[in-house]
């Protein structure tokens, strides 16, 4: 190598060495001014809490380092999720650290959102509420998501101070149709839990219990217990819905039907059940009412209304009739059509006709 080439190579490698040595932009770490009593630097602290990503309320353990939550795990001692969390629960941490999260209150002006300080937002809220209050009682309304009892009481108190009624709670994936059906058929105000793990045959009319329905982590566990191989036997799961959800994809058989036609199929099954003597122990008046309402829904009529072929309807009915411990679930959260209430009423009646003692519906343990 001649002297000139050597100097060239030495110059280039010197440059790259110098580049790798440039200092990184300065970062500042702020220590807590007043650390929690149980915080020990370098040691993790675990706090038990509740996941609020959906109304199921699974138990979580939040791992904290130096006063900051860095991971959430399922609480193994919690009766609902028994140590498991769903994807939404695992992602809850993003609510604290995601750079795209909303960090301040936003004020809409001329169609655009402007970040404001909390002090500014509180002052605007106070002024508006007091102005509304001067116009009479009940002039302030508050809309909230599903919140815990303490926060709800705080909201109620604030509204009382403004001479107004409690907040309106909005849950995007509501269960109003199922609640109403429970009230009409069982006289129950609320949502019972389902002993899916004790069933030997499961039909879902769209309830996507592995995704969002009621308490997905709890039902994923119960479904595994019900559907797994036990003593060389496996309980069957049939899913009836217009589209194939993730839950439907896990079924042994998916019965496709027209959108919002699930109630016709449930009524057809009711008709067959009553015709073959199921639900004899029900009060005569109720049995006659079920017979009257379901009598038009022959397998041909069901096909005409739902597009479910008669041979598939027979398959569904025969398995239901042969099951010793059937359980039927209502419609899914994201497919609430105009006939959702009818479908849930028909499903509740199916449970009554095929399991008159309702052994797999737990009214003492509600969601
Ligand atoms: S089901 Fe998922 S999102 Fe809902 S409470 Fe449990 S972990 Fe949270």
Cα 86 to ligand 1 centre (Å) = 6
CATH number listed for the domain at residues 45-97: 2.20.25.90
Q: What is the mean pLDDT of the chain?
A: 90
Smallest CA separation from ligand 1 atom 6, residue: 58
Instruction: Report which ligand 1 atom has the smallest distance to the Cα of 74.
Output: 7
Smallest CA separation from ligand 1 atom 8, residue: 89
Q: Which residues pair with 233 in a beta bridge?
A: 230
DSSP string, 25-88: PP---PPPSS--TT--TTS-EEEEEE--SSTT--EEEEEEETTEEEEEEE-TT-TTTTT---HH
Q: In angstroms, what is the C-alpha Rg of the chain?
A: 29
93, pLDDT greater than 90: yes
7, pLDDT greater than 50: no
45-97 and 176-366, same CATH topology: no
Superfamily the domain 176-366 falls into: Dimethylsulfoxide Reductase, domain 2 (3.40.228.10)
Question: Residue 277: is it exposed, middle or buried by C-beta count within 10 angstroms (0-12/13-18/19+)?
Answer: exposed
In angstroms, the Cα distances linking 284 to 274, 279, 288, 357 are 12, 10, 6, 16
Instruction: Please report, in angstroms and rounded to a whole number, the separation of the first and last CA atoms in the chain.
Output: 81
Tell me the three state secondary structure of residue 109. strand
| pLDDT tens for each residue of 15-65 | 444 444 556 666 666 667 777 777 888 899 999 999 988 889 999 999 999
For residue 14, the model assigns a pLDDT of 42
d(CA 312, CA 253): 10
ipTM for this prediction:
0.99
d(CA 101, CA 107): 16
Instruction: Report which ligand 1 atom has the smallest distance to the Cα of 215.
Output: 1
- pLDDT: which is higher, 24 or 218: 218
Pocket of ligand 1 (CB under 6 A): 51, 53-54, 56-58, 81, 85-86, 88-89, 216-217
Cα 53 to ligand 1 centre (Å) = 6
| pLDDT tens for each residue of 142-178 | 999 888 889 999 999 999 999 999 999 888 778 889 9
Tell me the three state secondary structure of residue 210. coil
116, pLDDT greater than 60: yes
Instruction: Report which ligand 1 atom has the smallest distance to the Cα of 87.
Output: 2
Which of 217, 218, 219, 246 to mutate to test ligand 1, by most ligand atoms within 8 A of the CB atom? 217
Question: Residue 15: is it exposed, middle or buried by C-beta count within 10 angstroms (0-12/13-18/19+)?
Answer: exposed
Instruction: With CA atoms as reference, report the closest residue to 348 among 130, 178, 131, 98.
Output: 178
Cα 347 to ligand 1 centre (Å) = 26
pLDDT band at 89 (very low <50, low <70, confident <90, very high): very high
Cα 54 to ligand 1 centre (Å) = 5
Name the residue ranges covered by the structural domains of the chain: 45-97, 106-169, 176-366
Which of 51, 83, 214 to mutate to test ligand 1, by most ligand atoms within 8 A of the CB atom? 51
Instruction: Report which ligand 1 atom has the smallest distance to the Cα of 88.
Output: 3
């Amino acid at each position: 190598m001649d002297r000139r080439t050597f100097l060239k190579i030495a110059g280039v490698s010197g440059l790259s060495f110098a580049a790798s040595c440039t200092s990184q932009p300065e970062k500042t770490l702020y220590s807590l001014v007043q650390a929690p009593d149980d915080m020990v630097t370098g040691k993790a602290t675990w706090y038990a809490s509740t996941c609020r990503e959906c109304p199921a309320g699974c138990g979580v353990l939040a791992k904290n380092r130096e006063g900051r939550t860095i991971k959430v795990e399922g609480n193994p001692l919690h009766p609902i999720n028994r140590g498991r969390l769903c994807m939404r629960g695992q992602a809850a941490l993003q609510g604290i650290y995601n750079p795209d999260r909303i960090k301040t209150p936003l004020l809409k002006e001329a169609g655009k959102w402007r970040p404001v300080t909390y002090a500014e937002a509180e002052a605007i809220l106070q002024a508006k509420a007091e102005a509304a209050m001067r116009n009479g009682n009940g002039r302030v309304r508050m809309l909230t998501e599903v919140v815990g009892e303490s926060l709800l009481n705080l909201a109620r108190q604030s509204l009382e101070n403004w001479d107004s009624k409690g907040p309106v709670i909005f849950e995007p994936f509501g269960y109003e149709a199922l609640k109403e059906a429970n009230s009409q058929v069982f006289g129950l105000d609320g949502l019972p839990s389902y002993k899916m793990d004790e069933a030997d045959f499961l039909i879902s009319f769209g309830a996507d219990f592995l995704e969002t329905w009621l308490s997905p982590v709890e039902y994923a566990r119960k479904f595994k217990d019900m559907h797994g191989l036990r003593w060389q036997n496996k309980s069957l799961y049939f899913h009836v819905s217009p589209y194939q959800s993730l839950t439907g994809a896990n079924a042994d058989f998916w019965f496709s039907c027209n959108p919002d036609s699930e109630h016709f199929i449930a009524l057809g099954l009711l008709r067959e059940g009553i015709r073959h003597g199921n639900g004899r122990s029900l009060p005569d008046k109720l049995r006659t009412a079920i017979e009257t309402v379901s009598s038009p829904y022959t397998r041909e009529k069901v096909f005409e209304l739902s597009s479910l072929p008669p041979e598939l309807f027979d398959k569904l009915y025969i398995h239901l009739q042969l099951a010793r411990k059937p359980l039927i679930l209502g419609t899914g959260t994201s497919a609430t059509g105009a006939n959702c209430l009818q479908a849930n009423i028909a499903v509740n009646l199916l449970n009554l006709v095929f399991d008159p003692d309702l052994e797999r519906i737990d009214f003492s343990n509600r969601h």
